[in-house]
Amino acid sequence: MSIVITGPRHPVGGGLRTRMALFTTGLFASLALAVAPFVQPPTALAWDHDYYDFCTKNLRQPPRVCCNNSGGVWSEDGDCTDPAAPPTPVPTVTQQVLPPVVVRPAP
């Protein structure tokens, strides 16, 4: 009994349509796997203030390292902040609406 397939058609191989469908499926699957790391949506990190405190006090790491590891953002003033926190509102100038001034004509 021979294992070598020498005939042009084999029951497992199927026809041309089956081979094209399998080839296309394999091609799209490999493209999906190749592209997947580049199209993943960015995930938001939640800042863990408890881990930041634990890291600075117990592990004695620099605050900047603990800030990055806890998911925070290191600011220019040397503080670790929550990246999801809204920015500090800028003070605005408001105008007070005055009542209309009625001027009587001179007699």
DSSP codes joined into one string, 65-98: HHHHHTT-EE-TTS-EE-TTSPPPPPP----PPP
Q: What pLDDT was estimated at residue 97? A: 76
Q: What pLDDT was estimated at residue 40? A: 64
Q: Does the pLDDT of residue 18 top 70, yes or no?
A: yes
H helix and E strand count, the chain: 3, 2
Q: What pLDDT was estimated at residue 58? A: 93
